[in-house]
Amino acid sequence: MSDDTSLNLFQQQEANRRRTVLLVIGFVAFFAWLGFGGDYIYYLSTRGAPGAAYHHVFPWFGIALTVVALLTAWYAYATGPEKVLWSTGARAVVDPTDPQEKQLVNVVEEMAIAAGIPRPRIWIVDDPDPNAFATGTDPLHAHVAVTRGLLALCSREELQAVVGHELGHVKNLDVRLMTMLAALVGAVALMHDGATRVLRGGANLGGGGGSRGGGKKGGAGPLLLILLVVWILSWILAPIITQILALAVSRKREYLADAMSAQFTRNPLALAGALQKIEGAGAPTAAIKRGAAHLCITDPLGRRLTAREGLFADALATHPPMAKRIAILRGMGYAQLKKEGGGVA
């Protein structure tokens, strides 16, 4: 069994490394397209202008946006975990005093040993709804956060199972991809808002310029129009695309993290119990915003989509249906019991 899971783990780590690189490349390429595409459109539209008028030859926009994208990606990688934690208002548990926090620290230490990774930094989110998430770039720079609600609701074993699930994400490098995604989704949303404002202002100017030189650039007309439409669509669709990316990337790995938790604790029924309790609590986790939703053990937005599987839910929910996760864990638990029972009998 251990050989099997380790192979899985290795593949998952590789896949996560590769996907993170692809994500960054895609991110930069997208911005390059926005920049250079804009340059090209501007070039086409000023090409036929009279000699004295402005000719857009040097791709300033493209270079500027590519540089901005590269800097953003670097910044996201360097500060993504901090930003995610900051956005949820988590506070670090450094010197635990009350027994609940002490227990959390102990449980995280235990699971770090079981997972064979260094102890991550521990955070508590002051929110009454039970939830937990992990972030970081690799096992050496990892963070685990749980809500107060989770501490209050779960037994020691259940807390252990939930922490095991989160450390599963840390160990197979899910955190790197997911944190990067969260940071980039945030960056795109921010830039999109800013750019829309600029574009709206710029559209008026551009319209004025176009009507002046309108008669002379007829040859480039259809191409220019198509480019312009695609380009504007890209701007509009950017946040939606990144959102869908965030959704698609997070569901399958929840099952894997559940399995890893079971491997660490050797107690799949504890995680099943914890998920049941978390599901029962059901209220949305107010402290956790949309951008970090895909990092959590259960959908913090309380969307009912998580309740079923299907084409629509598959496309839009960040998490697999809870009932299915619980059923799989129960299956593992019964298989384990049967095996142990068989040994005795």
Partner 1 sequence: MFSWILLLVIAGGVVWLIGAYNGLVSLKNQTLNAFKQIDVQLKRRHDLIPNLVNAVKGAMEFERSTLEAVIQARNQAVKVNATGPEGIKQISQAENALSSALQRLMVVVEQYPQLKATGNIGQLQEELTSTENKVAFARQLYNDTATQYNTKQQQFPTNMVAGLAKAQPADLWEIEDQAEKAVPQVDLSMKPKV
> CB-wise, 140 or 203, nearer to partner 1?
140
Residue labelled with tokens 């450390």 = 167
| Rounded least distance, CB 114 to partner 1, Å | 4
State whether the Cα torsion 302-304-310-312 is positive or negative: negative
| Rounded least distance, CB 112 to partner 1, Å | 9
Strands 132-138 and 141-147: antiparallel
Retrieve residue 266's tokens.
């050797």
> CB-wise, 111 or 134, nearer to partner 1?
111
| Rounded least distance, CB 120 to partner 1, Å | 15
Retrieve residue 293's tokens.
């939703």
> CB-wise, 41 or 114, nearer to partner 1?
114
Residue labelled with tokens 């508590």 = 124
State whether the Cα torsion 211-216-221-223 is positive or negative: negative
| Rounded least distance, CB 144 to partner 1, Å | 16
Show contacts of 145-152: CB within 8 Å, 24+ apart: 145/85, 145/88, 145/90, 146/104, 147/285, 147/287, 148/124, 149/281, 149/285, 150/278, 151/100, 151/101, 151/103, 151/104, 151/124, 152/100, 152/128
| Rounded least distance, CB 10 to partner 1, Å | 11
> CB-wise, 46 or 336, nearer to partner 1?
336
> CB-wise, 116 or 331, nearer to partner 1?
116
Residue 310: left if φ>0, alpha if ψ -120 to 50, beta else—which one? left
- The helix (run of H) or strand (run of E) holding residue 79 is helix 60-88
How many Å separate Cα 287 from the centre of its chain? 16
> CB-wise, 118 or 201, nearer to partner 1?
118
**Residue 138 phi/psi, 5° resolution?**
-165, 170
- What are the Cα distances from residue 137, in Å, to 149, 213, 271, 299? 26, 51, 25, 22
Contact set with partner 1 (CB under 8 A): 2-3, 6, 99, 102-103, 106-107, 109-111, 113-116, 156, 160, 264, 266, 344
> CB-wise, 9 or 297, nearer to partner 1?
9
**Residue 141 phi/psi, 5° resolution?**
-120, 70
| Rounded least distance, CB 264 to partner 1, Å | 7
Catalytic residue among 101, 110, 158, 166: 166
| Rounded least distance, CB 160 to partner 1, Å | 8
Q: Is 82 an annotated catalytic residue?
A: no
- What are the Cα distances from residue 64, in Å, to 38, 68, 76, 220? 12, 6, 18, 25
Which residues are part of the catalytic machinery?
166
